[in-house]
A = this chain, B = another copy of it.
């Protein structure tokens, strides 16, 4: 038998993974949730048919969205994580002893339940006593918060469907307000390569630039996302992502990683010229 999962990266490009079996499938209040097992990527989760994570390459996304801000801010204690129902960001964050409290705001309880059951490698730290899970719309949650967090990580889906509100000017403005005076916001920032992704990326960047004093973009190689060239946004009230990198302090923590290094940290902000141009066009 041959069973293939296929995602259209554009209407003219398909990426297909041979599947051993489908482990789970359901429609939640918000989206369709599927989990598959595969030889090449291990287990993987899709939402509305879009790849969210695979066991083989999730470390790249989760390390890059977490350790980059953590190596810049000298003392993160309170963190807000939006989305992230798979638990990957929480797993990385809870490795820091200095982190005292994490509010995780996930709109869809079923995603968390499914990941606890089928993706224990990412969901393994959701029961850490420092983590409070709120099943709410992230957009609404941040409206009522002020001067509360050192770090906000926006681990959203794409800018359509349930994740749409997490790409709005109102949302970024509220994140700014929810951060302390030296707070950092990091978000998944789409891709520069295919046209529709690039437009979404530009739109997000424009709105973040309007809200934050410092706003830079960094990149990683994530093979199972469209084009494999994925971006993250680093927005901050005070810290510069490269000049304020404290490599010595971070390396002293002794955290082992498979993608992130403090050398790669600086390199990740050195973007291709065409990406710099796309960003400049909306700054």
Contacts and interface: CB of A to CB of B under 8 A. Distances in A.
A149 interface: no
Interface in A187-219: 193-194, 219
Contacts of A11: 18
A195 to B, nearest CB: 9
Counting every copy of the chain, the complex holds 2
Contacts of A266: 267, 270
Nearest to A260: B273
Contacts of A267: 266-270
A258 to B, nearest CB: 5
A219 to B, nearest CB: 7
A259 B259 CA distance: 22
A268 B269 CA distance: 10
Q: How large is the interface on A (under 10, 10 to 19, 20 to 34, 35 or more residues)?
A: 35 or more
Contact of A60 (B194, B221, B272): B272
Interface in A230-263: 257-261, 263
B272 A221 contact: yes
Interface of A: 4, 10-18, 38-40, 57, 60, 193-194, 219, 221, 223, 227-229, 257-261, 263-274, 276
27 contacts: A4-B14, A10-B40, A12-B17, A12-B38, A13-B40, A14-B14, A14-B16, A40-B194, A193-B221, A193-B223, A221-B227, A223-B227, A223-B229, A227-B228, A228-B228, A258-B272, A258-B274, A259-B272, A259-B273, A259-B274, A260-B272, A261-B272, A261-B273, A264-B272, A267-B268, A267-B270, A268-B270
